[in-house]
Amino acid sequence: MEFKHEPIMLNECIENLNIKPDGIYVDGTIGGAGHSFKIVSKLSGKGLLIGIDRDEEALAASQKRLKDFSNVKYVWGRHEDIKEHVNSLGIEKVDGILLDLGVSSYQIDEATRGFSYTKDAMLDMRMNKEQELTAKEIVNSYSIQDLEKIFFEYGEEKFSKKIASKIAREREERVINTTYELADIIRSAVPKNTVDSLKRIFQALRIEVNGELKELEKAITSGIDILNDGGRICIITFHSLEDRIVKNVYVEMQGVCKCPKDFPKCVCGMKSYGKIITKKPIVPSEEEQERNPRSKSAKLRVFEKHLP
């Protein structure tokens, strides 16, 4: 299957990156290079794009898409290690960073990846096929308590306990191997609105398999650390857990003084690394949401680095 992924809020991302023709930019989740194609198209021969992805198939697809551009460097790895990846190329600072935290359309539509409850496949969900942990291992070996915790915290699923208990009973009789088998178990455990529960449980498993939330805070702080003065980081999230982390880290990095207003000077030691550009997140236009329903939950938040 061809690697396809329609870039979310493409124009909004490009506008907020404030691209300089001779600048250095990082797409930390390059995927099918939807955003990257537009970024590198705005660069001069002196500019540089660094594309990072932990999915080897995504990286190969981006190289194919950007084959006509010589000013692109590719890195196979996780975006939480963005600073190490950039430094390994002999580069200390960059002018802009983009992180699109969504699962690509290719990963969802490619049945063998096991991301979707609508396609029968082995319970996999690994973005990096080299790692050992899979959704199958989680479903069949995690304790009831751990499953319930994952479903509640990462999926915000109100029937977490019922679903975890049902999975535990079923796996006593057989190994749960496929997405369809798991989907049937979830349906049997939930009294109504089974589609919503399916979405939330599969989301929770994907987050746990790939350690998505555990790495996000590091990715943001490391990204801001390597930005030049005036550089921006743009992050697209797709669910409230991600968005909350991005919002909170931005607030922390903005470093608003916590001293009482009547203090003559700051004594709290709060350090500011820049300012939040998006007081409220940017969301896709109605036209984009109609054209691409998968964009409906997307939110874009932007932070601009400023040296003290």
Q: How far is CA 252 from CA 93, 181, 264, 273, in A?
A: 21, 43, 22, 9
Q: How far is CA 155 from CA 98, 201, 298, in A?
A: 25, 6, 16
Query: Model confidence over 92-101: pLDDT tens digits?
Result: 999 999 999 8
pLDDT value at position 3? 54
Query: Model confidence over 277-295: pLDDT tens digits?
Result: 999 999 999 999 999 988 9
| pLDDT over 80 at 241, yes or no | yes
Q: Are 75 and 218 in contact (CB under 8 A)?
A: no
Give the pLDDT band of residue 104 (cuts 50, 70, 90): low
Tell me the whole-structure pTM to 2 decimals: 0.83
Give the pLDDT band of residue 112 (cuts 50, 70, 90): confident
Give the pLDDT band of residue 1 (cuts 50, 70, 90): very low
Residues 142-164, mean pLDDT to the nearest whole number? 96
Q: Please name each of the domains of the chain with its CATH number.
A: 10-100+213-305 (3.40.50.150), 114-210 (1.10.150.170)
pLDDT value at position 304? 98
- Beta partners for residue 61, in sequence order: none
Average pLDDT of the residues of the chain: 92
- Range in 114-118, 187-191, 269-273 the model is least confident about: 269-273
pLDDT over 70 percentage in the chain: 96
